[in-house]
Every structure is written in structure tokens, then in C-alpha cells.
């Protein structure tokens, strides 16, 4: 059977492995399928592939313009200073990809506030071996520590954190409405190949009275756990976190699981383990998790508004003055991509986590402002 792009699904090594597992143990919850596609020890996407950039499968904001990472670095340094410039702190990036964001952030923050750089201990949380190699190339001079999980980062000092397009890579569960009940959506072998099937009715901790029959509600237990842990650490030790991702500012329903290969959407079963798989981030839930941990959370602000408030247009104006025409054109186009509501400006959203009682950090005005 051809998929919607007319391509015949290839049976990848991971598809075979999962089919054998399903034949033996029954259909998998969607989060187990997503976790296997991204992180299976043998065949998971992030274990083997260099995914990001023009030659990869998708492009991210720090890869589009260096100004993105620079502004994030200045935001973190500002929060560090606002909290009394602690002489030692843990600087954490969740899912640093090729290390581009942190490289730009450290360069800008180090120039503005050398003491920030001197006080930072760098911790990179990533499961990808090829990405870690790239991170080592760009960030080796800052003596980073690598971890597979936030839980492994020492909780012994204030923590300043950035996560760009990290939460969207965390596995989601899906629930499908059937009458008054919610059934866990699972991945089985409906036609002898991988596909969705209904699982049993399950207890859920969300309410969606307006959702029609057949509606799908996603939850992200792994993301909630990390949001809560960030809130707890920031409440206990001080610090600040910035999460930037695409997703929703109103918890609703809809299937947002999507696969990307070579910058094009493909069916989520077309090439398991050989394409990126993501889901939209439910920002209200992430913020609630951080608050449950004991911290305050500000947002939700669109990426375009956030970067504009941090001064991207001013910085761009300065760069354009000294740039040759071709470079100037490229710089302007890159900024446009980050800011424009028709591109990344509003689909991408930003939330912050700061100690309870803090004033809104730079870039954030009110609770909800999308």
C-alpha cells in the first residue's frame, strides 16, 4: 500500500523488531512506539543519525540564525545576575543537538558578563551519540559534562537551563474518545503491518467535555516529569529555565504526532527509526508541572514576540549596517523566519520557569499572551 506521498513503506530494521515485539506481547502504547523510534538502543533515530541541518531531516532556530542563541545566552546571564550572580551554578541544555545554540549563547554571555562564564559548569543532557560528537567539537573548550537524563545533573547549585525543540521529542501517549470512555491508542499490526489500533478503556487525568467521538488527546508523561523536576530544582536551589518549542497554548485535542524526513512530512509508520518523530508541546500542562514542582512559570509568548522584546530587530539592524549585500539579505531572511507569524513566530512558543515570587523575566509580560 502506498502512503500519502505515493511512496511504498520500507520495512526498516526497527519495524521488524517492533513487529516481532507486538506479535509476542500485543500492541504498544503510542509513547512506547515513539520512544523506540527515537531512542531504541540498536535502531533508534537519535542513536545513529545526524538529523539536523540542510543535509539532515529538520532545521532548528539556532541553525537558522546565530542571533537566536546569542539572545538566549544574554537572557540566561541576565537571570543569573538578577539572582545575585552566584559564584557557581549549573548551566544545563536539554537536547543540545549540534551544540550551536550553546556555542552562540556562551560567546555572547561571556562577552557581556565574563563572570557568568567563570561561574558556569556546563551540563549537556542528550541521548544521541552522533550529536554528542558534534557537541564535543563545538563546546569541548567549556569542559561539558554529559548526561542521558536531567536526574543525573547534580542538584548542588542554582540551575540555569535552556531547552529548544527538546520537549517535542519526548514520547506522547494518545487517548481516543469512544462514547463516554477514553481508550489508549496503541500501535499494532492491523493489516499485518504497523498501524494504530484501539487499546482498552483507561482512567485519564484530563477532562475534555467538548471533545467529539473519535477525538485524540495526547499527554506527555516524560515532559511533565521533567517540567516538575525543573520547577522543584529552581524552587530549591534558585535558577531559571527557558523552554522553546512548537505546540499549543490551549490544551485541546488532535493528533499531532508527525514524522519528518529530509525536511518533508512522511507517514509515522513509513520509516520507523529512520526519520524524526515529534508531537506538539502542551504548554499549559508543562507550566502546571513546573508550578507543581514549586516554581513560578511565565508565558506563553510567541517566539516572534519574545525575540523582538529581547532586541532581535535592533541587533539585526546593527549587523546589517556592516554586512555586504548578499550577507545582509541572508541575515534579514533568517530573522524573518524566526519572527514572522507565517513561519516560526507564533507556532513556536516560549515559557520560563523562575523561583516563586519572581517578577516576569525579560521577554515575558503576563501569564498568557499569545
Least distance from ligand SAH to the Cβ atom of residue 258, Å: 14
Whether 196 contacts 187, CB under 8 Å: yes
Whether 127 contacts 47, CB under 8 Å: yes
Does 31 bind ligand SAH (CB under 6 A)? Our answer is: no
In terms of CB distance, is 211 or 279 closer to ligand SAH? 279
In terms of CB distance, is 63 or 296 closer to ligand SAH? 63
From CA 271, how far away is CA 82, in angstroms rounded?
Answer: 47
Per-residue x/- mask for ligand SAH, residues 127 to 156, rule CB under 6 A? xx--x-------------------------
Q: Which of 31, 70, 104, 126 binds ligand SAH (CB under 6 A)?
A: 126
Whether 125 contacts 144, CB under 8 Å: no
How many CB atoms sit inside 10 A of residue 134's CB? Answer: 19
Least distance from ligand SAH to the Cβ atom of residue 366, Å: 26
The site for ligand SAH, by CB under 6 A, has a size of 21
Residues whose CB is less than 8 angstroms from the CB of residue 58 and which lie 6 or more positions away in sequence, other chains included: 51, 52, 260, 263, 276
End-to-end CA, the chain = 41
Under DSSP, the state recorded for 58 is: B
Does 269 bind ligand SAH (CB under 6 A)? Our answer is: no
How many CB atoms sit inside 10 A of residue 309's CB? Answer: 14
Q: How far is CA 33 from CA 176, 179, 187, 369, in A?
A: 16, 26, 7, 34
What would the grid cell of residue 183 be? Answer: 481508550
3-state secondary structure of 25: helix
In terms of CB distance, is 28 or 52 closer to ligand SAH? 52
Per-residue x/- mask for ligand SAH, residues 72 to 111, rule CB under 6 A? -----------------------xxx---x----------
Does 278 bind ligand SAH (CB under 6 A)? Our answer is: no
**Interface with ligand SAH by CB under 6 A: which range of 159-167, 180-188, 228-236, 296-304?**
159-167
Does 65 bind ligand SAH (CB under 6 A)? Our answer is: no
**Interface with ligand SAH by CB under 6 A: which range of 60-68, 114-122, 180-188, 262-270?**
60-68
**Interface with ligand SAH by CB under 6 A: which range of 16-24, 122-130, 198-206, 289-297?**
122-130
Instruction: Please report the beta strands in 116-238, taking only residues with DSSP state E, as ranges in sequence order.
Output: 120-125, 145-147, 159-164, 173-178, 181-188, 195-201, 216-219
**Interface with ligand SAH by CB under 6 A: which range of 121-129, 177-185, 229-237, 260-268?**
121-129
Whether 296 contacts 357, CB under 8 Å: yes
Least distance from ligand SAH to the Cβ atom of residue 305, Å: 19
Binding site for ligand SAH (CB under 6 A): 38-39, 46, 52, 60, 62-63, 95-97, 101, 125-128, 131, 164-166, 169-170
Amino acid at each position: 500500500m502506498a502512503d500519502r506521498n505515493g511512496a511504498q513503506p520500507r520495512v526498516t530494521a526497527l519495524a521488524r523488531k517492533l513487529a516481532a515485539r507486538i506479535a509476542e506481547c500485543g500492541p504498544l502504547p503510542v509513547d512506547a512506539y515513539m520512544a523506540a523510534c527515537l531512542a531504541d538502543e540498536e535502531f533508534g533515530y537519535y542513536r545513529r543519525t545526524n538529523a539536523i541541518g540542510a543535509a539532515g531531516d529538520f532545521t532548528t532556530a539556532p541553525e537558522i540564525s546565530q542571533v537566536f542563541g546569542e539572545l538566549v545566552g544574554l537572557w540566561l546571564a541576565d537571570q543569573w545576575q538578577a539572582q545575585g550572580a552566584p559564584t557557581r551554578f549549573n548551566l544545563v541544555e536539554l537536547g543540545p543537538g549540534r551544540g550551536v545554540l550553546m556555542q552562540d549563547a556562551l560567546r555572547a554571555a561571556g562577552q557581556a558578563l565574563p563572570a557568568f562564564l567563570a561561574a558556569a559548569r556546563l551540563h549537556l543532557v542528550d541521548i544521541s551519540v552522533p550529536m554528542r560528537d558534534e557537541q564535543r567539537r563545538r563546546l569541548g573548550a567549556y569542559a561539558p559534562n554529559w548526561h542521558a537524563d536531567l536526574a543525573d545533573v547534580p542538584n548542588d547549585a542554582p540551575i540555569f537551563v535552556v531547552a529548544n525543540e527538546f520537549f517535542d521529542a519526548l514520547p506522547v501517549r494518545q487517548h481516543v474518545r469512544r462514547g463516554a470512555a477514553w481508550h489508549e491508542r496503541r500501535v499494532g499490526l492491523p493489516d499485518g503491518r504497523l498501524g494504530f489500533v484501539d487499546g482498552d478503556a483507561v482512567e485519564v487525568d484530563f477532562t475534555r467535555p467538548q471533545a467529539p467521538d473519535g477525538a485524540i488527546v495526547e499527554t506527555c508523561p516524560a515532559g511533565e516529569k521533567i517540567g516538575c523536576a525543573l520547577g522543584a530544582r529552581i524552587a530549591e536551589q534558585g535558577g531559571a529555565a527557558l523552554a522553546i518549542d512548537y505546540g499549543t497554548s490551549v490544551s485541546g485535542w488532535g493528533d499531532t504526532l508527525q514524522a519528518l524526513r529530509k525536511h518533508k512530512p512522511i507517514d509515522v509508520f513509513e520509516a520507523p527509526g529512520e526519520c524524526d518523530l515529534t508531537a506538539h508541546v502542551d504548554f499549559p500542562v508543562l507550566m502546571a508541572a513546573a508550578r507543581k514542582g514549586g516554581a513560578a512559570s511565565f508565558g506563553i509568548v510567541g517566539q516572534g514576540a519574545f525575540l523582538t522584546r529581547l532586541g532581535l530587530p535592533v541587533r539585526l539592524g546593527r549587523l546589517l549596517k556592516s554586512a555586504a549585500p548578499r550577507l545582509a539579505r541572508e541575515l534579514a531572511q533568517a530573522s524573518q523566519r524566526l519572527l514572522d507569524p507565517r513561519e516560526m513566530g507564533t507556532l513556536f512558543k516560549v515559557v520560563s520557569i523562575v523561583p516563586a515570587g519572581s517578577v516576569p523575566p525579560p521577554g515575558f509580560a503576563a501569564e498568557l499572551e499569545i
